[in-house]
């Protein structure tokens, strides 16, 4: 699984020549409602095994959590289940807030 920085993810999302990845946020609902990356989908880490069938194995999928730890483990689970194009957002939403949103504010 590859790691992607917040800046790299932002560049990807701004690049009109590339398809947007699936942004899969694995935090809990209260965390997601307090702060999220626009366009992300909530699927708490504990729910992924039961909801695996909802995900596209062929899509670029960026795993997101608070700091990058939970999303890394959830991404490993996806890789073990046949997902090949999985990226972990290094630093999670903390890095996104610091490196992307504060830079554009």
Residue-range definition of the domain harbouring residue 90: 2-104
**Residue 105 pLDDT greater than 70, yes or no:** no
CA distances from 46 to 14, 62, 104 (A): 31, 17, 33
- Tokens, residue 42: 């909530």
Q: What is the CATH number of the domain that holds 96?
A: 3.40.250.10
Catalytic position from the list 65, 78, 95, 100: 65
pLDDT for the residue numbered 104: 66
- Which pair of structure tokens corresponds to residue 31? 């965390």
* pTM given for the model: 0.95
- pLDDT tens-digit profile of 28-79? 999 999 999 999 999 999 999 999 999 999 999 999 999 999 999 999 999 9
And the tokens for 93? Answer: 């939403």
The structural domain count of the chain equals: 1
Q: Is 65 a catalytic residue?
A: yes
**Residue carrying the six token digits 């670029």:** 60
Sign of CA dihedral 33, 38, 42, 48: negative
């Amino acid at each position: 699984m590859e790691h992607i920085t917040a800046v790299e993810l932002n560049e990807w999302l701004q690049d009109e020549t590339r398809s947007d990845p699936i942004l899969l946020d694995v935090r809990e609902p209260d965390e997601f409602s307090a702060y999220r990356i626009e366009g992300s989908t909530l699927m708490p880490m504990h729910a992924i095994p039961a909801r695996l069938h909802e995900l596209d194995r062929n899509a670029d999928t960026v795993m997101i959590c608070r700091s990058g730890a939970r999303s890394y483990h959830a991404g490993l689970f996806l890789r073990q289940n046949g997902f090949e194009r999985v990226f972990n957002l290094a630093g999670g939403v903390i890095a996104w807030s610091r490196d992307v949103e504060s830079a554009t504010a």
